[in-house]
Structure 1
Amino acid sequence: MITQTNQTAYNKAEQQFIELLDVIDLDEKLAVQPELASQFEASLERAIQDAYDAGSGDAAAHRFLQRVLYRINRLKLFWYDDLRHYTNERSAYLRNVRDRIEVPWQAWELAQLDVAALQQEDVKQGLAERGARDLDPPLSEDSRYIREQTTEAGYRRILAIGSFDGLVEGSRLSRILGGAANEVQATLTRVLIEEYGNGRLSRKHSTYFAQMLSEFGMNTEPEAYFDLVPWEVLASANHNFLVTECKRYFLRYNGGLTYFEVAGPAAYRNYLTAAQRLGVSQAAMGYWELHIREDERHGRWMLDDVALPLADKYPEQAWEILLGYDQEKLMGDRAGEAIVRSAKEADRMAVK
């Protein structure tokens, strides 16, 4: 639960941080005027303690930390906006803030998994079992709600939150493709090329998502609905920034991407079923149909042509593929639950 008092304090601190992002010579100015970041620094220390040292953590603290971390991470992508926004992309201060959040956050995330047990698993068998389980899972209570009960208001909320990733889809995958040429790299490149519409904007998956938004008269600009995005969704995005930034986490990232591609069609079928029940236009659900079709193929590619070959190449570290898979599932399930809670809230507000 987010208390109003905590949220107000964090909002003010985040606003100070946003202003710092565009300060010319930020590192030099903070060295002589540390008070420029005093409010932000106080909130940052408090949030880290409240989020990661207090049981399940304070929701307002989680939200603040993931929003700050995302504002740093997004500078690793190019948004075709004012070039001055990238003034501090290599700032030592921003790197320090990122590390101070990531270290306790990642320890908190890892503590929710039995890493020792993963290290003892038969990796290939584990991947096969997970793939079979997640390809067509039984419907959960949340899945049934989306399919059978959510109203147009809830569906619009799902689109708004989904646009956070849907309008920049594949961007983080692009960050791991450089390097030596081999079959794994070629497969990952094929996945990215399909996500990017084979170089044609009209076929890019983000274009299909924008069309869904347009059908409802919604904003098609990236991050337009940032304030609606739950911290759980932001955490998944920030985690992927981390594991694509650090090549030592290459196996973890590909394990996570394997889960994402294998499990994606089941989630998209829920949204497609809801759209069909609501009677929306073809354009307002075309993205789901496209992804069901293509991600079924991508899931097979990731299992057969990426995850298993990597397990052969790195037998001593292959368990990290399972870690990445399970962590992506854990964080994805958590994000999915948050999205449904938000959709339910939109549904309730619509009938008042």
Structure 2
Amino acid sequence: MKLPTPRGPVSAALVSALAGAPRELSGDLTPDDDPLTGEDLQLSLFVMYELAYRGWDGVDDRWEWEPSLIRLRTAAEERFEAGLRALVAPYDDRLPDVIDARGIARTLVAMTGDDSGPSLSGYLRGRATLAQFREFAAHRSVYHLREADPHTFAIPRLGGAAKAALIEIQIDEYGSGRVHRMHQELFKATMTGLGLDTTYGAYVDVVPALTLATNNLMSLFGLHRRRRGALLGHLAAYEMTSTGPNRAYGNGLRRLGGDADATRFYDEHVEADAVHEQVAAYDMCGAFCAAEPERAAEVLFGARCALALDGLWASAVLSSWERGESSLPGLV
């Protein structure tokens, strides 16, 4: 993936530095724009996080652990997390006073059963134009072309039943070891059917900060062992809210002329995630909280962040379309 076009002073300094050999980053590189929608902050985080995934074309891999870059990433993460905590604060009043291992799954079910948010899936099922569906897929490609990778960071940080449950979910995500069934590969077929570029990270340069933020959230949780509970909660929220929307996405794409290859990604999730949601809530999060009960609140924080940030992103996309505008002005 090529380094993206900077969106502010911090990302500009970062992209410029990464083009050279690892060295001490100079100057005051503290991001100061909005913690959730700030283009400079979210792009800077994404650029730094990608060093832990597949990296950037022409960038020395040693940059991943350059101390000054880690200091910058930590400062950006602290600002991002402060924004997340402010975003999910209204949800706290709805949580039970005491959350134990047995109650964690019930609480997750209650949280993910709230369908009062914006129905992006409903719009895509019945109203979206082909151009809008292409935009949606471009937004989601930032995650789907590396689907499951952020959550896999949790595997070596767990033991026992929680680890086994997570591996059960991830095995399906990676197609049981068959390349053509990996969800990352299935999404490439969807993108091909929509006439989109299937190159990894092709649309990073055109998606807005909120799209990057939904991806950065997974990395924020996944790259820190101390946030492993939040990462499991995030995954549980994803799996427990996936079946209905993916059915709608598949039906919406069929309405627009999508063939079986193009819709297989969504159809596969309808079947797989109906099982995954039970495994994620009861076997994974329940077992994790039984082993580490002090982290139950952290699991719910991860789930709340996933739901709230995705809701914010969906609202922004829908608002653009309802105004008759593109949610991705830079997409050709």
Task: Report the TM-score when normalising by structure 1.
Answer: 0.81
Instruction: State whether structure 2 residue 7 is matched by structure 1 residue 24.
Output: no
- Note the residue ranges of structure 2 that are not aligned, 5 or more in a row: none
Q: 1:73 maps to which residue? A: 49
Relative distance call for 1:160 and 1:231 in structure 2 (3 A) is same
Structure 2 counterparts to residues 128-143 of structure 1, below 5 A? 128-131=106-109, 134=112, 137=115, 140-143=118-121
Q: Give the alignment partner of residue 51 of structure 1, picking from 12, 25, 34.
A: 34
Take 2:278 and 2:58, find their aligned partners in 1: how far apart are those partners? 40
- Taking the aligned partners of 1:264 and 1:119, their CA distance within structure 2 comes to 25
CA distance in structure 1 between the aligned counterparts of 2:226 and 2:54, rounded to whole angstroms: 24
Write the distance in 1 (CA, Å) between the matches of 2:158 and 2:118: 42
Q: Is the 8 A contact 1:161 1:339 kept in 2?
A: no
> How far off is 1:84 after superposition?
4.2
- Matching of residues 34-183 of structure 1 within 5 Å: 34=26, 38=27, 41=28, 44-45=29-30, 47-48=31-32, 50-52=33-35, 59=37, 62-78=38-54, 82=57, 84-114=59-89, 117=93, 118=95, 120-123=97-100, 124-125=102-103, 127-131=105-109, 134=112, 137=115, 140-179=118-157, 181-183=159-161
> Aligned partners of 2:117 and 2:222: how far apart in 1?
31
The alpha carbon displacement at 1:343 in A equals: 5.3
| TM-superposition CA deviations, 1:268-317 (whole Å, max 9, x none) | 22312311221221212111101111111111101110111222222333
Alignment identity in percent? 23
Asked whether the equivalents of residues 193 and 199 of structure 1 are also in contact (C-alpha less than 8 Å), the reply is yes
RMSD: 2.8
Contact 1:146–1:340 (Cα < 8 Å) also in 2: no
Q: State how far apart, in whole Å, the 2-side matches of 1:188 and 1:9 are.
A: 36
Answer with 1 or 2: which has the greater Rg.
Answer: 1
Give unpaired runs (5+ residues) of structure 1. 1-7
Contact map agreement 1:137 1:266 (CA 8 A) in 2 = no
Counterparts of 2:175 and 2:112, CA distance in 1: 26
How many Å separate the matches in 2 of 1:13 and 1:113?
Answer: 27
SS of residue matched to 1:76: coil
Q: Secondary structure at 2:87's aligned position in 1? A: coil
| Distance change >3 Å, CA 173–CA 111, structure 1 → 2 | same
Q: Could you report, residue by residue, the CA deviation over 1:231-290 in whole angstroms, capped at 9, with x for unpaired residues? A: 122112212112122222121211111111100122222312311221221212111101
Task: Provide the residue aligned with 1:14 in structure 2.
Answer: 11
Alpha-carbon distance between aligned partners in 2 of 1:89 and 1:133, rounded to the nearest angstrom: 36
Letter of the structure 2 residue corresponding to residue 265 of structure 1 = T
Q: Secondary structure at the match of 1:346?
A: coil
In structure 2, what is the equivalent of residue 234 of structure 1? 212
Which secondary structure state, in structure 2, belongs to the residue aligned with residue 112 of structure 1? Answer: helix
| 1:68 partner letter | S
Structure 1 or 2: more helix by fraction: 1
* Residues 249 and 179 of structure 1, relative CA distance in 2, 3 Å threshold: closer
Secondary structure at the residue paired with 2:149?
A: coil
1:251/1:318 contact within 8 Å kept: yes
Provide the C-alpha distance between the structure 2 equivalents of 1:347 and 1:116, rounded to a whole number of angstroms: 31
> CA distance change for structure 1 residues 130 and 340 in 2, over 3 Å: closer, same or farther?
same
Which letter maps to 1:51?
A: D
Corresponding position: 1:263 with 2:241: yes
| Conserved 8 A contact 2:157-2:228 | no
Q: SS state of the match for residue 113, structure 1?
A: helix
Contact 1:135 1:266 (C-alpha < 8 Å) held by counterparts: no
1:316-331 superposed matches below 5 A: 316-331=294-309
The one of 211, 215, 222 equivalent to 2:189 is: 211
8 Å contact 1:151–1:347 — kept in the other structure?
Answer: no
So what's the TM-score if we normalise by structure 2? 0.86
For each residue in 1:29-71, what CA deviation from the matched residue of structure 2 results, as whole angstroms up to 9, or x when unmatched?
x5xxx4xxx5xx4xx54x51x425xxxx8x4xx1110011010
Q: Secondary structure, in 3 states, of the residue corresponding to 2:310?
A: helix
